[in-house]
Amino acid sequence: MNLSITPGTNNVGAYINNIDLTNLNNNQATEIKKTLDKFGVIFIKNQNLDPESYQNFAKQIGQPVIYPRLKGLDEKFPYINVIERKPDDKSLSFGSSWLHQDTSYVQTDRPRWTALMGIEIPQGQGNTIFSSGFNAYEKLPNEIKEKIKSATGIFSSAGPIAVTRLEREKEMGIKLSKSMEAEHPIVQTVDGKKTLYVSPGHLIKIKNVNENEAEYLKDYLIEHVNKKEFIFSYEWAKNDICIWDNLSCLHMASEIKKL
């Protein structure tokens, strides 16, 4: 049975309707991955998954990997990380202020997809901002496309987004002093469509372009993927699940509203 799909704002992402992730069959799992290939991020509402069913669902989509910068939930669920803000937490939201693509600083075996589930969502808070790498690439001027067609980016865990990771590590009693760095093509292809792989929170340099234009092109692309026409701000509700493709979709946590 084909899934019921509703595209999101600005054609960024899509809602998958009327599906129960605790009773997912192989055909549905394949359809989910095809929808991710097309839209970059999917939104699935009203899913009440405990850690075991959440991890089992993830295994139906792909091979889970341990996130290299944070501690897992426990020994039984090492692939699940808890992202939590307490009422008196004054630090930045984890992953806020900089659009990024998860673990772009890993050279091999990067996780293709990331899944996030809303457990407790304070009223009026809790949006995630998504930007479509597909749409951003499509709207680039042809001259920029030509300049970056062979470009590669240097991505670092010590990039501008690192401040939020360092705050979380301090809160969780983790010390990871070693920075990680990787090089990837700026233009990627997903299911025949080109997408921008820029990750502003991690990108520190562009190579394989005119050396005199490297910094200009880096700044240009970062500004470009932040344009409102490529953005959808997703408002979370309890038991929502979002899954995004780290090749074709950028994301960041919204700033916390002061109520």
Evaluate if pTM is beyond 0.75: yes
Lowest mean pLDDT among 194-198, 213-217, 225-229, 251-255: 251-255
Given a cut of 80, whether residue 116 has pLDDT beyond it is yes
Gap between the Cα atoms of 51 and 34, Å rounded = 25
- Superfamily assignment of 4-82+89-253 in CATH? Clavaminate synthase-like (3.60.130.10)
Given a cut of 70, whether residue 86 has pLDDT beyond it is no
Average pLDDT rounded to a whole number, residues 129-138: 97
Average pLDDT rounded to a whole number, residues 72-91: 79
Residue 257, pLDDT score: 43
pLDDT-based confidence at residue 126 (cuts at 50, 70, 90): confident
Given a cut of 50, whether residue 259 has pLDDT beyond it is no
Average pLDDT rounded to a whole number, residues 13-19: 94
Average pLDDT rounded to a whole number, residues 47-55: 94
